[in-house]
Every structure is written in C-alpha cells, then in structure tokens.
Amino acid sequence: MTAGGEVDMADYEVTEIGGLDQWRDHFGGFAPARSRDGRRVVDHELAMQFIGLTANALEPGEEAGYWHTHSEVEELYVFVEGRGQMGLDDDLVDVGPGSVVRVGQGVWRTWRAHPESPGELRWLCIRAGGGELPHLPDDATRDEVATRPMPWAQG
C-alpha cells in the first residue's frame, strides 16, 4: 500500500475516495486554474485508459459557474445525495438521489446544487470516449464449470 492509501497491482488498482461526507473536503480539478473544493478527478489518480471518473460535491446554492460541451466524450452523471438542477442545452432538469443523466457529445451542460437542498449535492461523473460499447460485453470469459473457488469461501 502506498502512502496515499492506494494499492498498486499488476492489472488493477484500488483507491479510496472516502465516504460521501468526505467528498467536499477534496480540492481538485482538471487544471490548477479550474480546481475547486468538492471535486476529485479519480482518473488522474489511477491508470485509467478508456473511462474517467470524478467525485463531486456542491454546497446548497453553489453552481458550476460555466457551461461546457464535449466533441468526443460522453458523460454519465450519477447523483447520490442532495437536490440540484442541470442545464442541458435549452432544458432544465431536476436531479437528486437516484437520478442518472447521460449527456452525449455536443450537448451543452451546467449544474448547480439547489439553494434549498437538504445538504450537499453529491454525484459521480463517468466519462468515456472512443469506440462504441457493445450492448452485451462480448469480451468476457466466464468460469462455467466453477474451477475457481469464491475468495470469501476459502479458509
């Protein structure tokens, strides 16, 4: 385990982003000039190739303060706590725990924590680009004869 709490392995990595109540404590972003409290760019901490992930938290009434769009990246916003709104082109969408919003290329987006949110608006943003994913992942191999024991069933 490294000093930062990450476990480095040959083909996988593990990091801890903390509980939801700790997300606001992180200061980060994609570039120093655009960093802010409550943003953690997890894919900058792990060796991710095809997907990106940020963990985000805004105080009630706080907003992104900018619009943005992507020409190649698709984003998936998964809201886990609080109440907020997303601007999506000309639409305004209410979001809260359990809301999942896919935003495709070319769509302008912004977001805010609603001023009357019962607490911080917290969400994960998953980014991906490149090739289209198959509906059914066809690159998987299953152990149909159960030759590998379950790790929790051992000793």
Whether residue 94 has pLDDT greater than 80 = yes
Q: What is the pLDDT of residue 96?
A: 98
Q: Which of 87-91, 95-99, 144-148 has the lowest mean pLDDT?
A: 144-148
Whether residue 153 has pLDDT greater than 70 = yes
pLDDT band at residue 5 under the 50/70/90 scheme: low
Convert the pLDDT of each residue in 30-54 to its tens digit. 788 878 888 888 878 788 778 889 9
Whether residue 88 has pLDDT greater than 60 = yes
DSSP state at residue 63? B
CA dihedral of 151, 152, 154, 155, whole degrees rounded to 10: 140
Percent of the chain topping pLDDT 90: 46
- Report the predicted TM-score, pTM, of the whole model to 2 decimal places: 0.79
**Cβ contacts of 119 within 8 Å, gap of 6 or more:** 60, 81, 82
Whether residue 8 has pLDDT greater than 90 = no
Q: What is the pLDDT of residue 58?
A: 97
Convert the pLDDT of each residue in 106-143 to its tens digit. 999 999 999 999 999 999 999 998 776 666 666 666 67
pLDDT band at residue 1 under the 50/70/90 scheme: very low
Mean pLDDT over each residue of the chain, to the nearest integer: 85
20 burial (CB, 10 Å; 0-12 / 13-18 / 19+) is middle
Q: What is the pLDDT of residue 49?
A: 79
